[in-house]
Amino acid sequence: MYFKGKAHKFGDDVNTDYIISGKYKFKTLDMKELAKHVMEDLEPGFYQKVAVGDFIVAGSNFGCGSSREQAPLAIKYADVGAVLARSFARIFYRNAINTGLPVVECDTAQIEAGDELSIDLEAGVINNRSKGTLIPVKPLPAVMIKILKDGGLAPHFRKHGGFNFD
């Protein structure tokens, strides 16, 4: 998997209420509609600013708080290419993999807002083309690679009739 785009920076502990507020998510299953409000409490108008394939780049504990799967889905439907963070909250991390939103654990202090990045997930490296630096990516657990290779949990289940990590 290869991605290219611009960095949009956020801080530590970005919770799922900030990613998509409860006042929207209870009303609809239309993720394109929810995507219009993604990150708006932290950065009003974020949906308008983000170009297809751009990256959310954050500090530690990204996606903490509620278990809402609308959070990774709203990011995905806003056409964000991947989320890069120093660390992720575990429920968000699982939800992202299950729904096919790439999540990348790496040292995001080396990335500034507006930096042009390219990411090669197989090779496990980020090229910060604005700074001319290479940033290593923390590899995913083997189970998650298996789920991602099948295309998410739904295709994994359809293919194997349940969990199959052998």
Partner 1 sequence: MGQTIIEKILSSHSGQEARAGDIVVAELDYVMGQDGTAPLAIRAFADLGGKDVFDRERVAFVIDHSAPSPNEGVSALHKLMREFSREKGFKLYDIGEGVCHQLLPESGEVGPGSLVIGADSHTCTYGALNAFSTGVGSTDLAGGLISGKMWFKVPGTIKFVCNGVLPPGVYSKDLILYLIGRVTADGATYMAVEFTGEAIGALSQEARFTISNMAIEMGAKAGLMEADDKTFAWLRRFTSRKFTPVTADPDAVYTRVLECDAAKLEPQVARPHRVDNVVPVSGAAGKPVQQAVIGTCTNGRLEDLRIAAGILGGRKIHRDVRLIVAPSSRRVFLDAMAEGIIQTLVEAGAVMVTPGCGPCVGTHNGVPSDGETVISTANRNFKGRMGNSNAEIYLASPATVAASAVTGKITDPREFI
Does 128 bind partner 1 (CB under 8 A)? Our answer is no
Q: How many residues sit in the footprint of partner 1 (CB under 8 A)? A: 46
- The terminus-to-terminus CA distance of the chain in angstroms comes to 23
Query: Interaction with partner 1 in 133-162: which residues (CB under 8 A)?
Result: 141-143, 152-154, 157-158, 161-162
Residue from 8, 46, 94, 106 touching partner 1 (CB under 8 A): that is 94
Does 109 bind partner 1 (CB under 8 A)? Our answer is no
Does 99 bind partner 1 (CB under 8 A)? Our answer is yes
Q: How far is CA 23 from CA 14, 20, 28, 113, 149, in A?
A: 17, 9, 10, 29, 34
Task: State the nearest-atom distance from the C-beta of 154 to partner 1, in Å.
Answer: 4
Indicate the burial class of 143 (C-beta count within 10 angstroms; 0-12, 13-18, 19 or more): exposed
Task: State the nearest-atom distance from the C-beta of 55 to partner 1, in Å.
Answer: 21
Give the separation between CA 124 and CA 75, rounded to whole angstroms. Answer: 22
Closest C-alpha among 100, 109, 23 to residue 66: 23
Cα–chain center distance at 70: 12
Q: Which residues bind partner 1 (CB under 8 A)?
A: 12-13, 15, 17-18, 21-23, 25-29, 41, 60-61, 64-70, 72-73, 87, 89-92, 94-95, 98-99, 141-143, 152-154, 157-158, 161-163, 165
